[in-house]
Structure 1
Amino acid sequence: MICEIIGVLLVIIVLKWFKRRFKLKDIQGRCVFITGCDSGFGKLLAYRLDMLGVHVFAGCFTTKALEDYRNTSNTIKVIALDVTDVKSIEKAYQVVRTNLPENTGLWALVNNAGTMGHFGPVTWLSEEDYQRPLSVNLFGMIRMVRVFLPLVLKSRGRIINMTSGSGKIAATNVGPYTISKFAAEAYSDTLRRELYKSGVSVHIIEPGCFKTGFTDMPVITKTISSNFEKLDDELKDFYGLGYADKINTVFKDTIQTFESPKLHKVVDAYEHAITARYPLIRYVVGFDSNTLIFLNTYFPEWIMDFLAYATSPTPKGQI
């Protein structure tokens, strides 16, 4: 069994090395649309591709981000975009189509926009708590593809979707985020298989924990404490008054242990998916994401359950 696993891993490593050697020679001048360019991976990718000579359309949600791009770049075309609003997406489509060179489509659509949503046990959360992460992380992706697909088909280009290592492993206390990413994984796999004969390829980025502002401890602490206060008395008694503080401690320890400042690794994966002659289907980025996905793939599920149990606080009612 161990020899078989090692053999499979060696084959995967060799294939990935081979695929990473060859880049497209005519990437300059191709057109790419990126969502979620206000900060983090999206912003870094926009400037990276711009330096490579790619025509970048950067979708931004905030007015501040729009102004920042206009003050710092003459070549990046910045566009107001709310991926939760179909009308906003359709307006962005018209802007892109108008600004594309004649008889040219989009080489790549990068669905980078994302949000964390609510924190805390799923038993604390209401249906409304799931709506924002699902609307951005899943339905935002679906809306973008529905509207922009004709432009990608025109160039027989690529769709690159941001999911997460948490889209393969059910992380605790971030239920809405994890559920939205699991769904985004399934959507991306389905989309890839359905578009296979069209010439459009679909690629997935699965990062671990990176220092992008998603994991803001003051926000996490406030959200978890607020969600605990909304519980009825019976559930409060079951978990215990100090349970919210214990979860916050686990979050803080996890972030300090795994959060990586090396955002360029995710941007490198994005760049390869866009510019490589033989892009990978999946890019697992980060030590934590690679380790957990490996364990989840090759080891019994009870091991992952045990790890989750061992790192989670115990409710008062289970002591």
Structure 2
Amino acid sequence: MPVAIVGLTTVSAAVSPLSELGSALHAVGDPGHHPVDLPPMDAALRRRARRWAFTTRAIRATPFVTVWGPDEEFATQLDHLRALPPRRLGGQLLRPIGDTGAALRYARARGVGDQVAALVERPGPAVTEFLEFLAESWETWFAARWREVRPVLAARTRRFALDLAAGGPAGALGTLDPSITVAGAGVSIAKVRNGRHDVARRGLVVVPSTLINPHVYVADVPGRPLVLIHPAAPGPPVPAARDLLRRLAALANPGRLEVARAIATEPRTAGEIAARWHVDPTLVNRHLRELAAAGLARATRRGRYVQYELDAAAVDALGGDVLALLLR
């Protein structure tokens, strides 16, 4: 279940302050899986951040995933947004929820009905409020952090440029994170949802972030280059979805779960399990092999016998691996 990116003819890297601000606002809204040290917001800004939180949740609003140039300052990016017609920018802010009809249907369930209705019905004042929120967030909350992290992000883009020149697009992308692997002429990203993006005509822009971890974010905005936001420091490896599904399926079988229990405290052979628990030895052997093939048990040959032992660490990590893949 990967996301594939092919047609890697135009690949570049960019540092984006607005993208990093979006990641910061996302992290503030989801502190459970973003244990990062961000400065505190004052009460008024916190209230405004909650009003606009839907623009930076699981799906980011278009302004946070738009790259106009490789190294623009925040003020320049904000000017790009100010130059857009209010109705157009208002529509871009609704991207996380859907088109106008879908946004109006689902906004109230998210508790942002009034905010979304304002973007649809009165985009001028609503967009002005959003731009003021961005400016205030930057000036009073995020600018100091940006001065600290900008050199880190710039260094990462320079390293990517060197990797691009040395190893080509696919090879360079494969250095960004363990979840990104070379696959044929393109790359594959370990995600739950299947997807395929041919970027031969639109291009691909990679944007490093000090705050995006544990996510690797692929932003597909029609008519724009595909944007890949990745952790500046690669995250830990995450098993492929097919491997996790095989492990989950192995434990979901009642008989196999009983066999797993039999080898959880000490190594045993298939014959020993069959005799002790009065089970068909052929079936036990099949269960043991499936557990081993799924990476949940280890097999050790002792003369004529093969003993199996549950890999407790692999079973213990399964929940965390599933969560890591879902968050990725």
Q: State whether TM-score is above 0.5.
A: no
Q: Give the greater-gyration-radius structure (CA).
A: 2
Q: Identify, as 1 or 2, the structure richer in strand.
A: 2
Higher RCO (CA 8 Å, separation ≥ 6 residues):
2
Where on the TM-score scale, by shorter chain, does this alignment land: which range? under 0.3
TM-score (norm 1): 0.21
